[in-house]
Structure formats: C-alpha cells, structure tokens
A and B are shown apart, each in its own frame.
Chain A
Amino acid sequence: DQQVKQNSPSLSVQEGRISILNCDYTNSMFDYFLWYKKYPAEGPTFLISISSIKDKNEDGRFTVFLNKSAKHLSLHIVPSQPGDSAVYFCAASLTGANSKLTFGKGITLSVRP
C-alpha cells in the first residue's frame, strides 16, 4: 500500500513559467513533508520541507503548500529554469518512527528553454 503518491510521472514546462508538482498521502499521522531533487547519476538533494502544522513554506523560487484536509501537498517553482530539470521526490516522515522517510515514486520535470 503506497502511502505517498506522485501520480504524474512527468511534467514539461516552458522556461520562466510556473512548475507545479503534486503529491498525495494517505497517513494522516505524517508530521513532516520533504521534497528532494535528483539529477541522473547523483544522490538526491534536499530542497524544502514543511511541518504539518503549517500550510505554506517558501524558499526563494520554491514554495510548498500543504492541504491537510485533502492530504495533498504541492511544490511550486517560479520561475522555472532549465537547470530545474530533474526527478523530484516527495517524502513524508513520522517523528519517532526511527526517522524513516516514506518516498513517492518521483516525477520527472523537464524545463524547455
């Protein structure tokens, strides 16, 4: 049973426009949500996180929105740049559960110049 879902496998956007990456989860006990970015042949790098007690967190061009009632979060990238082309993973964690992260399957973002 997949607890973190990224239902769209890929997204293509024009440079300068907004990229919106979506993520759904099933476990209402998750208390932190994280986004990671991964380039081919490299390890994932942390991008941004949000606590379950907040509904928005912003860091430069990246904003994460959390809708707890819908069990849905989204990552907005504005403006999108070609260097943002990568695989983006959504992850969720439970405090105390030995700090494990549960990852979604990832979404491949392509930003067209």
Chain B
Amino acid sequence: DVKVTQSSRYLVKRTGEKVFLECVQDMDHENMFWYRQDPGLGLRLIYFSYDVKMKEKGDIPEGYSVSREKKERFSLILESASTNQTSMYLCASKPPGQHNNEQFFGPGTRLTVL
C-alpha cells in the first residue's frame, strides 16, 4: 500500500511565524504535490515537484515556498504565516507511468494561524 504521511494533523501558529509542513512518501514516487483545501474552493495546487531539487509553481504559490532535498520528502514552507493561510493542507504523490495520473494523498494538516 502506498503511504503518504504528513508531520502534523493539527497545527496552530501565530501571524508572522515561519511554518514548515512536512510530507513523506514511501513508494519512491517522483512527483509530489502540495494543495490547500478551503470550503467552496475545492483543492488548489500550491506547488509541485517532479524530481529532487526541482519545483514548479502551481495555481496559488504566493506566500509559500517548497523544498525537495530527498525524493521521499517534500516540504511546504510558509515564510511568514498570515491568517488567510488558515486552511487544510494536503500532500500527494504520484508514481511514474501512472496512466490515469492518479495521485495518492496524505491525511492532511489542519493549520490555524492566529
């Protein structure tokens, strides 16, 4: 079974703090993704990576950065957290050659910024 884990299920931070969200997958997947889910807005892609040290902006990258130093780990960084970044953050990964582009998701991190 593919396993995608996220470092925290719930996180509370203060405005201006630097926040790290960690994601690890154990199936040697090349592609990894970070989304946020907000009511009425669905899943929106923040950043993705198709190889170590490679990253691409998604649809809403502003206020975020990412790091992929190892194939199994993809980190999302909020440089200076703001209240509008309160959201559910979801990490996903995808193996190469997956014909339907199915992604495997982690359990999510509910981040609250006060």
A and B held together in a complex:
yes
Which residues of A pack against B, CB within 8 Å? 6, 9, 32, 34, 36, 41-46, 49, 51, 89, 91, 93, 95, 98-101, 103-106
- B91 to chain A: closest residue by CB: A43
Known interface pairs A9-B40, A103-B43; A49-B102 also in contact (CB < 8 Å):
yes
Q: Across the interface, which residues of B come within 8 angstroms of A95, CB to CB?
A: 101
Produce 1/0 per residue, B66-103, CB < 8 A to A.
00000000000000000000000010101000111111
Q: Across the interface, which residues of A come within 8 angstroms of B110, CB to CB?
A: 41
Q: Across the interface, which residues of A come within 8 angstroms of B58, CB to CB?
A: 100
Task: Please count how many residues in chain B sit with their CB below 8 Å of the partner chain's CB atoms.
Answer: 30
B105 touching A44 by the CB < 8 A rule?
yes
B100 touching A93 by the CB < 8 A rule?
yes
Interface centre among B41, B90, B102, B107 (most CB of A within 10 A): B102
Interface residues of B in 25-62 (CB under 8 A from A): 31, 33, 35, 40-45, 48, 50, 56, 58
Produce 1/0 per residue, B9-33, CB < 8 A to A.
1000000000000000000000101
Known interface pairs A98-B31, A99-B31; A51-B45 also in contact (CB < 8 Å):
no
Which residues of B pack against A, CB within 8 Å? 4, 9, 31, 33, 35, 40-45, 48, 50, 56, 58, 90, 92, 94, 98-108, 110
Q: Across the interface, which residues of B come within 8 angstroms of A106, CB to CB?
A: 42-43
B102 touching A34 by the CB < 8 A rule?
yes
A34 touching B100 by the CB < 8 A rule?
yes
Q: Across the interface, which residues of A come within 8 angstroms of B101, CB to CB?
A: 32, 34, 93, 95, 99-101
Nearest CB of B to A40, in Å = 9
- A6 to chain B: closest residue by CB: B42
Once bound together, how far apart are the Cα atoms of A98 and B49, in whole Å? 9
Q: Across the interface, which residues of B come within 8 angstroms of A34, CB to CB?
A: 100-102
